[in-house]
Every structure is written in structure tokens, then in C-alpha cells.
Amino acid sequence: MILDRFRVTDRVAVITGAGRGIGRGIAIALAEAGADVVLAARRENTLQEVASIVEKAGRRALVVPTDALVPEQLDRLVERSLEEFGGVDFLVNNVGGTLPGPALQCTDDEFNKSFNFNVTTALHLSRMLAPSMAERGHGAIVNISSAVSRLVDNGFVAYATAKAAMSHMTRLLAHEWAPHVRVNAIAVGATETDALAMVTADKALAKQMADLTPMGRLGTVEDIGAAALYLLSPAASWVTGKILEVDGGTVASNWPFSMPSGLSGPNDA
């Protein structure tokens, strides 16, 4: 049966940023498809809530509070995962994000922090878990990139550059680790999460973003969870090094703000 290829029964997945939003949605999707999950994020209370949902679905959940910006905590996440389950099959590098702001105001420290948060943390975990995946014979990694990694708009120089780097890192790792570990990414469009709520709480702005999206609505965490399940499952066993665009058909930025560049020339007066 074709649906059996989307099952991930008894596989083990490590998911960062799993307490809320897209990470939470992916964790629940994988559990419903049969996987046990390791849940990592800074806030233990949100992780425990997700763990209870996973356990109600009949699967095991390991909660490991983790600050991804602390390498020692990433190492501890790997150690706890391997101790608890004996190995790992899947990794979802979901943690990341950077607030928008004009390029002229983006300091070197802020730019480097964005790259570290969005890219270096993903490489750290991928590098540490790939050997275990290869040993188990069916390893797969999904990196959560962004539609803005290929689109242009004011205010995203740090975030979009980091996500573009993550997308290409995905291709490079996929090439280097094939055929033992598949590596793909999801270029996520505007998705209804707590992080976007500061914008979508304004119904007019939310409508503007939806109107600028060909599919006429914003994404949901279930949309991203379904895409992640596909890329991790045997259904995608011949897919690696690809960036799956899950963005409602977006071909131009649907960000509802116009952020000035801060530059002016001799003809701007």
C-alpha cells in the first residue's frame, strides 16, 4: 500500500525548537505516523505539553531542554538521545530566526549571531548524529529554511542570508553523505505561528499577507508537518539535496511592511 511508505513506525527523531510552532507541528505529525521523538527547546514547560500529546498518540517522548546557542547543550542533547533510544534515524533542524531590520543597522555581531543560530547549530547536530543514522541504515535530515532565502525584501539581510546558506549547506551535505543519509530542506513561507502572531494579530495585516499569497491564505504548522513527514519517510527514499518550497505559491515577498533602507542619494531630495 502506498500509504505504508509514509509510515515511520519505531523510528527516532530529534527535533529542535519543538516546543512551539513549526517544531511542535512536526513532532506531532511524526508521532502520529509512528515515530518516537526527542524534543529540544529552551522552555521545558512547552516541551512537556508537546510530550503529553506525543504520548497520547502512543509514542515515546524524551524532553531535553536545550539552548541551541550553547554547543555543550547540543552535545548533551545528542548524548541523551543516543542513551535513551540507542540511535537516531531523523533530525529536524528547526530552531532559528532573526528579527528584521535595515542592513545599515545590522552589526557584525548581530549578523554572526544570526548565522550561528540558523546555520552553525544545524551543522553541529547534523555532524554529530549522521554516523548513528548511517549505522541504522535509513537516516534523514530536514532543515527548516525559509522562502525569503530566495526572495528579496528590505530588512532581511541577516535572516535571509543565513537561510540561503542553510539551503546550500543542505545540498552540500546531501552530496557528501549520500547514499547513507538523506538531507533535504523545507523553504517555509509565512506560517501561522506564535512568532508571526505579532503581525497576524492585526487582522488587516494578516489579510494583506494572505492576499499577496497565490493560495489565498497563510500556511499552518500542519502544512509544514506533512512536508517534513514526506521528506523523512520512505516515500522520499529517492529524494536528497532538495529544497521543498512550501509557501502557498509565493514568488514575491508577502511581508506587509515597507522598511526604508536608510540610504539617500543626490536625487532623493
List the chain pLDDT tens, one digit each, 269 residues: 999 999 999 999 999 999 999 999 999 999 999 999 999 999 999 999 999 999 999 999 999 999 999 999 999 999 999 999 999 999 999 999 998 899 999 999 999 999 999 999 999 999 999 999 999 988 999 999 999 999 998 899 999 999 999 999 999 999 999 999 999 999 999 998 888 777 778 888 889 999 999 999 999 999 999 999 999 999 999 999 999 999 999 998 888 877 788 787 787 65
Candidates 169, 124, 111, 126; CA nearest to 145 is 169
Domains and CATH numbers, the chain: 7-189+223-246 (3.40.50.720)
Which cell goes with 37?
A: 521523538
Determine phi and psi for 166, rounding to 5 degrees.
-60, -40
Contact 201, 207 (CB under 8 A): no
Q: Model pTM greater than 0.75?
A: yes
Interatomic CA distance for residues 149 and 188, integer angstroms: 9
CB atoms within 10 A of CB 4: 10
Contact 13, 91 (CB under 8 A): yes
Q: Is 159 among the catalytic positions? A: yes
Helix pair angle (157-177, 121-136), 10° resolution: 20
Sign of the Cα pseudo-torsion (237, 239, 245, 251, in order): negative
- Distance, C-alpha 73 to centroid of its chain: 19
Tell me the H-state helices in the chain: 21-32, 44-56, 71-85, 108-115, 121-136, 157-177, 197-200, 203-211, 221-232
CA dihedral 229, 234, 239, 242 (to 10 degrees): 20
In total, the chain counts a number of residues equal to 269
Catalytic residue among 85, 115, 156, 159: 159
Contact 126, 92 (CB under 8 A): no
